Chains A and B, each alone.
Chain A
């Protein structure tokens, strides 16, 4: 079974530029998550989708971050304009949903803002 796919793996941009990350979840997984992991910290949930609807985006900085999952499968996370403090790993994850709800993570997209 293929895992959660993310791209690009690494990105370096200057502050005030924009960047987009793509995620393809495990086939059949209805729930998709984007997490931000700053170096030395645990992952923080940015946004959670159930199919193509947003379940929770309470910690998404909406003035600069946006995410979509138009067809209920793959998803894009965009940052515009980027700030230095956005340097982090952006982790996409997916799950089937339901009671035994194991969440599977991709390898992450590593963003450095200079």
Chain B
């Protein structure tokens, strides 16, 4: 079946460090892939997305590339800020059912 696996957290980094949060997926067909972010006390916000192989999604300095050969969609940012502290969820959408499946989330904490 379809599933998403994320690296476990929490991840703690110093400000301006390089960030990678790993995400791999299992899916039949060609899903769309997403990263959502959840700040404390808030709902989920779409961070970026990619709808086909080799697409790169980007937003607010974050990037992720849809890699079909490795079934991965790793999230990266070159220089993190304290305001990036949040929980990050990788997700896949199989369009035939308009259904989205989430990973378990990775908590990111950035030290000043």
Does chain A bind chain B? yes
Q: Closest chain A residue to B94 by CB distance?
A: A101
Q: Closest chain B residue to A6 by CB distance?
A: B43
Docked CA distance A73–B86 (Å): 31
The one of A43, A56, A100 in contact with B44, judged by C-beta atoms closer than 8 angstroms, is A43
Chain B residues whose CB sits within 8 angstroms of the CB of A114 once the complex forms? none
Whether A103 sits at the interface, judged by CB under 8 Å, is yes
A76-109 vs B, Cβ < 8 Å mask (1 yes, 0 no) = 0000000000000101010101111111111110
- Whether the Cβ atoms of B43 and A45 lie closer than 8 Å is no
- Whether the Cβ atoms of A42 and B105 lie closer than 8 Å is yes
Q: What is the distance, in angstroms, from A24's C-beta to the closest C-beta of chain B?
A: 14
Docked CA distance A33–B91 (Å): 15
- Whether the Cβ atoms of A101 and B98 lie closer than 8 Å is yes
- Whether the Cβ atoms of A41 and B105 lie closer than 8 Å is yes
Docked CA distance A6–B44 (Å): 13
- Whether the Cβ atoms of A105 and B45 lie closer than 8 Å is yes
